Amino acid sequence: MSERDVDAELVSRVQAGDKRAFDLLVTKYQRKIMRLLSRMVRNPSEIEDVAQEAFIKAYRALPQFRGDSAFYTWLYRIAINTARNWLAANKRAPSTPSGFENEEGETFSESDVLMDGSDPESEMASRQIAETVNKAINDLPEELRNAIVMREIDGMTYEDIAESMNCPIGTVRSRIFRAREAIALRLRPLLGDTGDRRW
């Protein structure tokens, strides 16, 4: 059974009223959507909100989904439109080049352009940002580091993280928030942020 067939089966179950089937789709694509949105939304702490909104829109629109395209392609377009609407509502410009959108969403890979332009200066800045983020994560206290890695790198749900760390979901949210704040603080000098806007 292909990925598309698996998704089609899950979509059919959701359309028949099985909410748990949608949870499986969210779990399957959450990390991919978050990675996609991180290329458009500059504020790391807001990416999750945009992703959640995109999944809510997808859930509400699923009764009209006919399977003319792959589920991820359809979800990809919803996520891109949700991010654009969010950026417009917050009067912010996307952090991606105008040629970013790809008709075949499922073929979009991490090797594609990460920042505006592909000149050596931009590539060096991308590398420097990645190194700073990795160092910031490594320097976090263990409980914060574990929480942020499970969430952002492994794509685990808050519920799964809470179960793994044997603590309440509220504690997980707090740890992830504190980790994001610490990482953002390290990134501010690189991004030319004076610190007067909240991350």
Range of the domain at 182: 117-199
Is the pLDDT reported for residue 5 higher than 90? no
CB 115 within 8 Å of CB 127 = no
Across the range 106-115, mean pLDDT stands at: 36
Which domain-ending residue is among 108, 140, 174?
A: 108
Q: Tell me, what's the pLDDT at 56?
A: 92
Same domain? 13 vs 100 = yes
Residue 123: pLDDT band (50, 70, 90) is: confident
Same domain? 176 vs 122 = yes
Across the range 104-124, mean pLDDT stands at: 47
Same domain? 143 vs 93 = no
Residue 70: pLDDT band (50, 70, 90) is: confident
Q: How many domains does the chain have?
A: 2
CA distance 105 to 164: 32
Which domain-ending residue is among 108, 137, 165?
A: 108
CA distance 90 to 84: 10
CATH at residue 7: 1.10.1740.10
**Angle 166-33-23 from CA coordinates, rounded to 5°:** 55
Same domain? 74 vs 7 = yes
Using one digit for the tens of pLDDT, what is the confidence trace for 136-145? 888 898 889 8
Which domain-ending residue is among 108, 128, 152?
A: 108
pTM of structure: 0.48
Same domain? 158 vs 79 = no
Residue 154: pLDDT band (50, 70, 90) is: low
Using alpha carbons, select from 167, 169, 149 the residue that is nearest to residue 158.
169
User: 92: part of which helix (H) or strand (E)?
Assistant: none
Is the pLDDT reported for residue 2 higher than 70? yes
Q: Tell me, what's the pLDDT at 55?
A: 93
DSSP state of 103: S
Same domain? 147 vs 69 = no
Task: List b or e across 15-31, with b for residues whose CB sees 16 or more CB atoms inside 10 angstroms.
Answer: eeeeeebbeebbebbbb
CA distance 19 to 16: 9
CATH at residue 138: 1.10.10.10
Q: Tell me, what's the pLDDT at 53?
A: 93
3-state secondary structure of 168: coil
Same domain? 145 vs 66 = no
| Helix, strand, coil in percent for the chain, rounding step 5 | 70, 0, 30
- For every residue of 3-70, DSSP letters joined together read HHHHHHHHHHHHHTT-HHHHHHHHHHHHHHHHHHHHTT---HHHHHHHHHHHHHHHHHHGGG---SS-
Is the pLDDT reported for residue 13 higher than 90? yes
Is the pLDDT reported for residue 197 higher than 50? no
Same domain? 86 vs 161 = no
Same domain? 9 vs 81 = yes
Same domain? 131 vs 38 = no
* Mean pLDDT value across the chain: 78
Same domain? 103 vs 124 = no
Q: Tell me, what's the pLDDT at 162?
A: 85
Q: Tell me, what's the pLDDT at 132?
A: 85
Same domain? 79 vs 148 = no
CB 159 within 8 Å of CB 169 = yes
